[in-house]
Amino acid sequence: MQFADYAKIYVTAGDGGAGAVHFRREKFVPRGGPDGGDGGDGGNVVLVGNEQLNTLLDLRYRKFVKAEHGDKGGKNNKKGKSGDDERLEVPLGTVIFEDETRRRIGEITEHGQELLLARGGKGGKGNTRFKSSTNQAPRKAESGGKGKHIVVELELKLISDVGLVGFPNAGKSTLLSALSGAKPKIAHYPFTTLQPNLGVVQFDDFRSFVMADIPGIIEEAHEGKGLGIQFLRHIERNNLLLFVISSQADIQYEYEALLNELKEYRKDLLEKPRLVAISKMDLIEGYELDQEYEIEVPVVQLSAATDYNMDELKEAIWKELQAIEQEKDS
């Protein structure tokens, strides 16, 4: 399935139906008085959370969204039919902004959660509503109200148990593929991964967790350089961060640089639990690093190519995820 984490849509709610001007006419009631009904309300445009979705692709190709108009009022005080709402299903983690002002409208975080994007216009009053002691036969009715129009941007923050964080070409895609069987694009040049990839990591005893390969960070990404905040927003919704650093890099420098990018984007991201994986150990003779580092969280040295310490990494991740769950329950 193709993945899309951004969509811009033009939303228009339905107009309200016009009220009716009508008078009761029966064989023996020549002057029955007004009986024009109210118009129906216009339909709303509503977002609905769906936990089965993980992409905004459908909305990317559906730029214009319109709800139904309300029907006109009828005789015998019959109210016009209200327009049907337009209900758009989106993945959990979808954040909604008003396009022109970038005002944050809301966020969809739960299955079945609803968020009103545009309210339909009210139906106009029929002439019955304007009858009074001084005006027994009103010949006026209201037009229906206009439905709201708004242009919104939808951004998806990917939800997973574990997010892979690292500089380009650190080996994140290879690691995800080896652990989960996912098929991300892999090559020996930076920015192979241009969009997040998801994989399910399974154990022989049926335990499992979801891992996301997030596009590579570069320094000053928080300022919009490289892929910028296109990937940083996905980090927010991962329970555990797995920093992936190549054994061929300056490990201490890259670790601190990754921390700094998270800090500059959102300081509270540093509070997320994290592990560190030193990748590509097969490129070092004897699998023995010749550089020292000071990292305050658990570190696993591994090779996805030779399966070196891959089971140890899975168990370390599982241990951290269980600790996170226990903390939530306490």
pLDDT at 187: 40
Other Cβ atoms within 10 Å of 32 Cβ, number = 11
Quick one: pLDDT at residue 183?
Answer: 55
Q: Give the other-Cβ count within 10 Å of 35's Cβ.
A: 20
For residues 17 and 69, the answer to whether their CB atoms sit within 8 Å is yes
Spatial CA neighbour of 198 closest among 162, 165, 168: 162
How many angstroms separate the Cα of 319 from the Cα of each of 112, 125, 274, 324? 31, 64, 12, 9
pLDDT at 224 over 90: no
Report pLDDT for 216: 56
Tokens describing residue 291: 């550089």
Mean pLDDT of the chain: 87
Per-residue pLDDT of 226-243, as tens digits, reads 444 556 667 777 889 999
What pLDDT does residue 123 have? Answer: 97
Determine the Cα–Cα distance for residues 263 and 259; give it in Å rounded to an integer: 6
The amino acid occupying position 89 is E
Q: What is the pLDDT of residue 221?
A: 39
Output the pTM of the full model. 0.64
pLDDT, one tens digit per residue, over 169-222 is: 788 888 998 998 755 444 444 444 446 677 888 898 888 888 888 775 654 433
Mean pLDDT value across residues 89-96: 91
Please give the share of the chain, as a percent, with pLDDT higher than 90: 57
Q: Taking Cα atoms as reference points, which of 113, 71, 121 lies closest to residue 96?
A: 113
What would you report as the CA-atom Rg of the chain, rounded to the nearest whole angstrom? Answer: 29
Q: Could you give the domains of the chain?
A: 1-156 (2.70.210.12), 160-329 (3.40.50.300)
Q: Is residue 41 predicted with pLDDT exceeding 90?
A: yes
Question: Starting at the edge strand that comes first in sequence, how are the strands of the sheet with 238-246 ordered?
Answer: 197-202, 208-213, 160-165, 238-246, 274-279, 299-301
CB 300 within 8 A of CB 275: yes
Q: Sign (positive/negative) of CA torsion 12, 62, 108, 67? A: positive
pLDDT tens, position by position, 105-120: 999 989 999 999 999 9
